[in-house]
Amino acid sequence: MSSQVDFGLGLRPDHYEEIVANPGRVTWFEVLSENYMVPGGRPLQWLDTLRRDYPMAMHGVSLSIGSIDPLDRGYLDALKALTERIEPLWVSDHLCFTGLRGINMHDLLPLPYTEEALDHVAERVMRVQDHLGRRLVLENVSSYVTYAASELAEWDFIAGLAERADCEILLDVNNVYVSAFNHEFDAYAFLRAMPTKRVRQFHLAGHLHKGTHIIDTHDHPIIPDVWDLYAEAVRLFPDVPTMIERDANIPPYVDLLAELDTARDIALRVARGRAPKAAE
Amino acid sequence: MSVGGPATNAGSLGDLQRAFQDYLLSGSDRLTASVHDTRKADRTTLLEVYRDGYALRLIEVLANDYPGVMAMAGPADFDYMARSYIAARPSRHPSVRWFGKDLADFLASTPPFDRSPAVAEMARFEWTLGDAFDSPDATPVGADALTALPSVAWETLSFTTLPSLHLLAFDFDVPRAWQRRDEQEPGNLAADRAEAPTSWVIWRPQLTSNFRSLAADEATMLAALMQECPFPELCECLAPSVGESGAVARAASLLRSWVEEGMIGSFRH
Ligand SMILES: [Fe+2]
């Protein structure tokens, strides 16, 4: 990959000191926006310290872009203030709703894939983009239930939204795998349906397989089937930055660096396969 | 157009979201008719992924914020307490950072938890420590700035403390119990009742939070200082304990120690 921002990790407080002790092993970090919406102290001190050495993308969990509640003005202002502090590569959140009636469920709840929901979300994405003065990047979530009301495939909903609202896509390869298993669709068809130019970032993560369904837990290493799916994603969408999410059962930083090397190897292998062969 | 825009209440999107939230908050089964079984799993099992996740995520947030309460209550009672709190005070903030802020009030005012006032005090102590941890940054006033003042300035001199500083009073010795939170099996930590209610100060001079107990007259003067009472009044409030003659010396000595410990944020005269 030629771009300077290629393989990154999620910035986690457990790793602050190890990151300083192992400089330059990633080219960027993804930070959880809400963790730094605090007045002061160590969290912002670490953020500013590490930001001097690494570009960062902001990843939020509480935009609740699909909710029927009004957009939270205070939250958007805090988000915008944080963009001014971090000057992020891009700002992402999830294609979902996280609550309504003023109550935050702190979970990424799935939307029905309907024209009504598409209209609703597209209009809100455009207002958020106007407010932030930048494009929003939205992530496909893992989901466990299928709504009777859904009229569209998830991939058509996402692709349609990206075109309609002129936003970008954070393609979580593990989430595609998890939802494909849970909802019995073809994960590869999902990838092929993504509009190439709009895929801004990849997520990779581990999950918990319950036999009848898979739960997106971010507490295990990435499984081989997800690596295979990632290889297809890299083939379809070259030069898209990749990062690994780990949110529980967090291993040492160097272990995640090793997992990230697997992503590098796959991307390199795909790139070599793509390069014109030397004359024999 | 305002960025917030109107709430949308009409349509099936709203119905579905309300049903989903009601399911998570109260177990309402209105959502069940709106979701499918899969060939592998029935919809009840799949919906429970969300319901279990909702509770477990917030219980974990509380366990991280309140290790001392966990050490006193033990995992089973903590789980019951946390689930009661989650049901009573659902989150109204975009960040889980603030989800636990009402726990001490909840425990102090809700049966059966109100029968364990030491646990509610532990919750208040831990929340205040957390508050100091990421409170606004400020540089404490140095001693030099005060010694340079002309004596006439002291007649009207008043102070503010650092934004991280909190003054608390406890009937139980929860700060010392908190220091032992990792030493016993969870559930066995106890906080003794103090001989008399004791004041404690929590503050963060640089990046590391600090706390200590205060003598009774020290707490009285610090409370007055936080009200921005001028220095002569701070001396007066010490008179009942040390007498008129000793008040100025005691006030000056306390003030000097607070400055040295980095508690004072600003002064004016
Ligand atoms: Fe993700």
pLDDT in tens, A89-100: 999 999 999 999
Question: Own/partner pairs for B24-28, CB < 8 Å, 24+ apart?
Answer: B24/A105, B24/A107, B24/B50, B24/B51, B24/B54, B25/A103, B25/B87, B25/B90, B27/B51
CB–CB of B121/B69 below 8 Å?
A: no
C-alpha A9/C-alpha A19 separation (Å) is 11
pTM, entire model = 0.94
Burial class (CB in 10 A: 0-12, 13-18, 19+), A82: buried
Using pLDDT thresholds of 50, 70 and 90, give the confidence band for residue A275: confident
CB contact under 8 A, A68 and B137: no
Q: Which ipTM did the prediction report?
A: 0.95
% pLDDT > 70, chain A: 98
pLDDT in tens, B70-126: 999 999 999 999 999 999 999 999 999 999 999 999 999 999 999 999 999 999 999
Using pLDDT thresholds of 50, 70 and 90, give the confidence band for residue A4: confident
CB–CB of A111/A96 below 8 Å?
A: yes
> Tokens 């998830």 correspond to what residue?
A154
pLDDT in tens, A70-120: 999 999 999 999 999 999 999 999 999 999 999 999 999 999 999 999 999
Q: Is the pLDDT of residue B1 over 60?
A: no
C-alpha B49/C-alpha A212 separation (Å) is 12
Backbone angles phi and psi of A3, in degrees to 5: -65, 150
Which ranges of B93-203 would DSSP assign to H, the alpha helix? 103-109, 117-133, 143-147, 174-179
* Averaged pLDDT, B230-248: 95
- B97 to chain A: closest CA residue: A35
CB–CB of A136/A128 below 8 Å?
A: yes
Total Cβ atoms within 10 A of residue A108: 22
Q: Is the pLDDT of residue B136 over 90?
A: yes
CB contact under 8 A, A41 and B134: yes
- A78 to chain B: closest CA residue: B94
- Select from A34, A62, A36 the least CA-distant residue to A50: A36
How far away is chain A from the Cα of B246, in angstroms, using its nearest Cα? 39
What pLDDT does A274 receive?
A: 83
Annotation: CATH topology of A7-273 = TIM Barrel (3.20.20)
* C-alpha A205 to ligand 1 mean position (Å): 7
What protein residues have CB closer than 5 angstroms to ion ligand 1?
A 172, 203
C-alpha B122/C-alpha B189 separation (Å) is 11
- B93 to chain A: closest CA residue: A104
